[in-house]
Chains A and B, each alone.
Chain A
Amino acid sequence: MTTPARPVSDAPLTSQPWRHVAPSRMAAWDADAGRPVSWAEFHGRIGAWQRRLDALDALDGPGQRWLLHCRCPREFAAALLALWTRGDSAVLPADERPETLGALAAECRAALGDIPDGLVADATPSSPRWGPLAPARLAVSLYTSGSTGEPRRIDKTFAQLDAELAAHARLWPLEGRLVISQVSHQHIYGLLFGILRPLCEDAPLAGAACRTPETLGAWLGRLADAPMAPPGAVLVSAPPPLERLPETGLPPAATDRLARVHSSGAPLSATASAHARRVLGAPVEEIYGSSETGGIAWRDQQRDEAWTPLPGVEVRADDAGGLWLRSPYLASPGWQPQADRIAPGPAGFRLLGRADRIAKVGGKRLSLSGLERRLARHPDVLRAHALPLPGRPHRLGAVLQLATAALPWCREARRARVAELRDALSTAYPVSLMPRHWRFVATWPRNAQGKLGAAEVARLFRDLDDPRRPRWLGVEKDGPAACRVTLEVPERLSYLAGHFPEQPVVPGVVMVQWAVALAEEHLALAGEFRGLERVRFPQPLLPGERATLELALEPPAEGPRLAFTLTGRRGCHARGRVRLAPGEVGHGR
């Protein structure tokens, strides 16, 4: 099944090419089954969603806003087209946390998809009804996930999406290849590259999200074998999955099928770019941009480290190196200043990092970037992030990634480390501008977009507001049923008071409670507590001590169990199993 080359439309989205496509052609490819999904089938899904929405408000006029969250790319695309052709727009939550959804639900007609109270279309196909997509109309509202402050709403019109999709189609034509996405389509990059490009360019999208390198290898292998398979694939990825590609690589039969890899969300390191190129056997093309700006520039680091502006995008630097942008993907036509600094070159520009972030702390202006640079001068500090804490605007927090050997493992070591860092700052900063709360991490906490986001920051400092909780310093997942959480015991932990006055320790039952609570958080453990098995507390856990909690869900026949081991520098503090009522163990998100 090949696609004849055709001129790229200036209105790839609003011309709605999917209305005229032959019903027998492939809209999606079910990569797990190796089965094509026809446009006739896909049109039936769009119609089913329209029927569901019509049943809800046949009397309300167009212009409704619907909260939409669907993990399945195909269902997401069908729901999106259904509401667009009704004259409505979609509100895409950045994540599925209850507080995120709750805040947005109030401004939406209803929630759609796989979220609590989300409506879904039934299985009966229906003929879709088409309507115009006016370029000036609102298409989607997205939310940024910055590391400070509340998520910000970004509105995109059809004209903005059209401009960006046309540029992508000219630069990187899909030519009927299968689009496999490893990123969330609730964000602009995944929405454009993973959903809208294949719809507009008559290329099939993969039937499901591709989470692991093993799945990717299996799907690409099936492309080579299956009859009626698309003629190759394009991978839409991001730094976190690309950095975690196994060294062993994918079978050559699989990588032969991969034409191109895209990455966005954060710049890839040169090492990660080279590694991905080697393992996947395809060029890695990075896109630099943001939810607000859309795509700004692109590069293939194996050719050149400098970024080339996307077609139609103009970039210049002001005297301080600040990036100014004029782009058809923006809502307004003029030049707009951006927070990044650049160095323009003969063929594009280099990124120099963020412009200074300024905060007002106790009435004084402070450059957070300057404070971070000063902290990063210390030889043990690999990376630093400073910020006024949410809910405590006059107090600074600092997240520091340290070399493993330099991580403080007990109270004395932590006190010495903090004293040393404060001392290093004291020549340049008054006491009131020094961080009060320090979080020392072994690996940089990142969200699915590869950034230290507001949710990660809030998690790192949550113990301040809940004296029953340990200090959380990061999680490493080993698949859906196992993870390792790094913890510290806060001196203010309420359970320490009155245990042994001379030497406070964390009571054993509290360690078990932590294991259950953290398994609920990271492994979606849900189940009634039934009892403990083989629980031991060999070494007391002291205030200020750092420890790693290993958690694993075991689903044996007689009922699920949570195995936990809490280990610190001095040895094992707790281990054992929690027995749960059967049939209620969830899977990690």
Chain B
Amino acid sequence: MSTPLEHELKQLIIETLELEDTTPEDIDPDAPLFGEGLGLDSIDALELGLALQKTYGIQLEAESEEARRHFASLRSLAALVEARRND
């Protein structure tokens, strides 16, 4: 069962990246978002970065090691949003 924030992020990903055939339930919170798993690519990373900035005011350098770590899975992304938006 995913948390409300995780569900919100799943919908953000589906909307932003216009994923077809994908519903929030299809996204495994622990599976990698990029490459294997959801199969997202570097352009998706840029777009997702922009969406996070627009929605939660979070700034990420898309190509940075930090971004790679946060984008590892949905759960790590949720942890980032949780931490930053309480700042």
Pick from B20, B26, B42: contact of A362, CB under 8 Å: B42
Decide if B39 touches A422 in the complex (CB within 8 Å).
Answer: yes
User: Given the interface contacts A431-B41, A432-B41, A432-B43, does A414 sit within 8 Å of B21 by beta carbon?
Assistant: yes
Minimal beta-carbon separation of A398 from chain B (angstroms)? 11
Which residues of chain B (2-40) have a CB below 8 Å from chain A? 14-15, 18-23, 26, 34-35, 39-40
* Bound: A438/B15 CA distance, A: 17
Residue ID in chain A nearest B39 by CB atoms: A431
Residues A464 and B23 in contact, CB atoms below 8 Å apart: no
Q: Within the complex, what minimum Cβ distance (angstroms) separates A505 from chain B?
A: 13
With known contacts A491-B23, A543-B23, A437–B43 Cβ distance under 8 A? no
State which of A438, A464, A543 has its C-beta within 8 Å of the C-beta of B18: A464
Given contacts A422-B39, A431-B35, A432-B42, contact A492 B21 (CB under 8 A): no
Which residues of the partner chain B approach A464 to less than 8 Å between Cβ atoms? 18
* A6–B43 CA distance with the chains assembled, in angstroms: 67
B41 touches A544 (CB 8 A): no
> With a CB–CB cut-off of 8 A, which chain A residues contact B19?
436, 491
For A432, list chain B residues within 8 Å (CB): 41-43
Nearest chain B CB to A319 CB, angstrom units: 35
B43 and A362 form a contact (CB under 8 A): yes
With the chains together, A492 CA to B26 CA distance in Å? 13
Pick from A422, A434, A436 the residue with the most CB of B within 10 Å: A436
Closest partner residue, chain A, to B40 (CB atom): A431
Residue of B14, B18, B23, B40 touching A437 (CB-CB under 8 A): B18
Q: Which residue of A lies closest to B34 (CB)?
A: A431
Number of interface residues, chain A, beta carbon within 8 A: 21
Closest Cβ of chain B: how far from A498's Cβ, in Å?
A: 12
B21 CB contact (under 8 Å) in A394, A395, A415: A415
Q: Tell whether A61 is near chain B: CB-to-CB under 8 Å.
A: no
What is the interface size of chain B, counting residues whose CB is below 8 A from a CB of the partner? 16
Q: A430 interface residue, CB < 8 Å from B?
A: yes
Judge whether A418 is part of the interface by a CB distance below 8 angstroms.
yes
Complex: A431 Cα to B38 Cα, angstroms: 10
Given A415-B21, A544-B21: A430 and B41 interface contact (C-beta under 8 Å) = yes
Residue among B19, B21, B39 facing the most chain A CB atoms (10 A cut-off): B21
A430 to B42, CA, bound (A): 11
Nearest chain A CB to B73's CB is how many angstroms away?
17
- For the complex, give the distance between the alpha carbons of A60 and B19 in Å: 56
Q: CA of A415 to CA of B19 in the docked complex: distance in angstroms?
A: 11
Closest to A415 in B: B21
> Chain B nearest CB: distance from A371 CB in Å?
15
Contact A418 B18 (CB under 8 A): no
Q: Which residues of chain A have C-beta atoms less than 8 A from B40's C-beta?
A: 431
Instruction: Tell me the complex Cα distance, A232–B17, Å.
Output: 60
CA distance A431 to B43 in the complex (A): 10
- Which B residues are CB-close (under 8 A) to A436? 18-20
Asked if A240 lies at the interface with its beta carbon under 8 angstroms from chain B, I say no
Q: Complex formed: what's the CA distance from A434 to B20 in Å?
A: 14
A411 within 8 A of B: yes
CB distance from B27 to the nearest CB of A (A): 12
Given the complex of chains A and B, what is the CA–CA distance between A18 and B63 in angstroms?
71
Could you say which of A411, A418, A431, A492 contacts B14, with CB atoms under 8 Å apart?
A492
Q: Is A490 part of the contact surface with B, judged by Cβ < 8 Å? A: yes
Q: Which residue of A lies closest to B41 (CB)?
A: A432
Q: Within 8 Å CB of A490, what residues of B?
A: 20
Chain B positions within 8 Å of A, measured between CB atoms, are 14-15, 18-23, 26, 34-35, 39-43
The 9 closest A-B CB pairs, nearest first, are A432-B41, A431-B41, A415-B21, A362-B43, A394-B43, A491-B23, A414-B21, A431-B39, A437-B20
Q: List 11 A-B contacts (CB under 8 A).
A: A394-B43, A395-B18, A422-B39, A431-B35, A436-B19, A436-B20, A437-B18, A491-B21, A491-B22, A492-B15, A543-B23
Given contacts A432-B42, A464-B18, A491-B19, list 9 more A-B pairs with CB under 8 A: A362-B42, A414-B21, A432-B43, A434-B39, A436-B18, A438-B20, A491-B21, A492-B14, A544-B21
